[in-house]
Amino acid sequence: QSALTQPASVSGSPGQSITISCTGTSSDVGSYNLVSWYQQHPGKAPKLIICEGSKRPSGVSNRFSGSKSDNTASLTISGLQAEDEADYYCCSYAGGGIWVFGGGTKVTVL
């Protein structure tokens, strides 16, 4: 049950686009298409921002988008805004009833 691999930090200037990768294996991300992504501000509970790989829940900005290629899922934030500064986590089913999160990525808006 190894955590999915995410970069520890990603930064960008306001208005720019950034991409956060989430790399797993053929046993988790590669086998199941439906990675989800969560945003977490300090001291707050996580918030769902992408479900089923690329779908945005109601109320989530269309600046957030998700995709997947082989064993790597990606979250792209376009038009970066100050409010996007937070921690981001991916999550995937890993088989055998087990779920796994990524280690988390801290996004800094310069």
User: Where do contacts with other proteins occur on this chain (CB under 8 A)?
Assistant: 1, 3, 32-34, 36, 38, 40, 45-48, 51-52, 57, 87, 89, 91, 93, 95-104
Of 85 and 87, nearer to other proteins (C-beta) is: 87
Q: How far apart are CA 53 and CA 20, in angstroms?
A: 13
Based on CB atoms, which residue is closest to other proteins, 1 or 13? 1
- Determine the Cα–Cα distance for residues 70 and 8; give it in Å rounded to an integer: 21
Contact 37, 47 (CB under 8 A): no
Number of other CB atoms surrounding residue 45 within 10 Å: 7
Q: Which is nearer to other proteins, 13 or 59 (CB)?
A: 59
Structure tokens that stand for 28 in this block: 């988790």
Q: What is the rounded distance in angstroms from the CA atom of residue 79 to the CA atom of residue 90?
A: 21
In angstroms, what is the minimal distance from the CB of 14 to other proteins?
26
Nearest distance in Å: CB 45, other proteins: 4
Nearer to other proteins, 83 or 98 (CB): 98
Minimum gap (Å) between residue 90 Cβ and other proteins: 10
Q: Minimal distance in Å, beta carbon 54 to other proteins?
A: 12
End-to-end CA distance of the chain: 34
